[in-house]
Structure 1
Amino acid sequence: MKARLCVYLSDQVDQRLALAARRPGASKSAITDAALAAFLSPERDDQRDAAIVRRLDRVSRQLDRLDRDQTIAAESLALFVRYYLTITPPLPGAEQDAARALGKERFAYFVAQLGRRLAGGKSMIRDVLEEIGTTESDFFTEAEIDALRTLKDGAPAAEDGDA
């Protein structure tokens, strides 16, 4: 026995349903029944949940890589600053103006070089990580080394279960 149901549809949906019902072997009731069955199917929820879990796993891996890269960059900067402050003697007052001018010139060169690297899609961190990854495999897992090689080659890393 089939239950009777009265529903209200928008004009657009009603027109699309009427057009679909004109096909041979199709009726408004059969189309509506199939649509509701698919919508209410527990498999639909499982498929959606599985897709969400895959996406969350991918985002989690990306965040882990970002965290690792940020830690490496922060530690590198801290070591450089410590080294620089340790070996750089203070300048006498007479030489400070010339040092400031040279510093401005060097900084302008640095900014230009940084702009060229970023515009070219190059990343010093990727280059360094790739170099470390190929010579110091004790620091990284095989999966991380593969990810580093992928980043160096410029191709996106293949994610588990996603195509």
Structure 2
Amino acid sequence: MGKPRVNIRISTKLYAQLCEAADKPGVTKTAIVEDALRAWFDPEARSVLEERLLARMDAFDQHQADMEKDLAYTYATLSHFVYYWLTRTEPIPEGERDIAHALGQRRLEYFNEQVSSKMSAAPEPAA
């Protein structure tokens, strides 16, 4: 006795793709449909895709954790620098404070302009 016969209806586009694939030497419509059904019913075939997705998600999580760690180091370094600078810098004499404040304001504005120009010139991060 031969194999059981199955009659199905599929979209015209899908049927055209099936016929085009079956035109290759050594390939039949039956073989293509059997391979597709075998892949559909095989849980291991599905788990391969899930494993690949999980591996990519794990890599993303690790990359995110590395970035958070680097950012924490950057904040710690900056905070230690500011703490050291604030505790080790001598107070400005009363007569020189206005000049120092004006100079500090100009330096802060220049710093902000430099950061702004660097940020606007930097390429946008990939989404």
1:36 offset after TM fit, Å? 1.8
Which residue number corresponds to residue 31 of structure 1? 32
Which residue number corresponds to residue 58 of structure 2? 57
> Tell me, which stretches of 5 or more residues in structure 2 are unaligned?
none
| Alpha-carbon distance in 1 for matches of 2:39, 2:102 | 72
CA gap of 1:107–1:2, structure 2 versus 1, over 3 A, is farther
- Taking the TM superposition and a 5 Å limit, the aligned residue runs for 1:134-145 are none
CA gap of 1:57–1:44, structure 2 versus 1, over 3 A, is same
Structure number with greater CO (CA < 8 Å, separation at least 6) is 1
Which residue number corresponds to residue 18 of structure 2? 17
CA gap of 1:47–1:108, structure 2 versus 1, over 3 A, is same
- Cα deviations by residue, 1:54-113 (Å, 9 ceiling, x for unpaired): 2133123212211211211221222223223324436648733x3343223323443427
CA gap of 1:43–1:86, structure 2 versus 1, over 3 A, is same
Percent identical pairs in the alignment equals: 30
- Taking the TM superposition and a 5 Å limit, the aligned residue runs for 1:59-138 are 59-88=60-89, 89=91, 92=94, 95-96=97-98, 98-111=99-112, 112=114, 115=117
- Cα deviations by residue, 1:3-23 (Å, 9 ceiling, x for unpaired): 443433222111111222233
> Tell me, which stretches of 5 or more residues in structure 1 are unaligned?
122-163
| Alpha-carbon distance in 2 for matches of 1:105, 1:5 | 83
CA gap of 1:26–1:102, structure 2 versus 1, over 3 A, is same
CA gap of 1:100–1:10, structure 2 versus 1, over 3 A, is farther
Give me the TM-score of the superposition, normalised by structure 1: 0.55
| Cα-Cα RMSD | 3.4
- Pick the structure with greater CA Rg: 2
Q: How many residues align?
A: 120
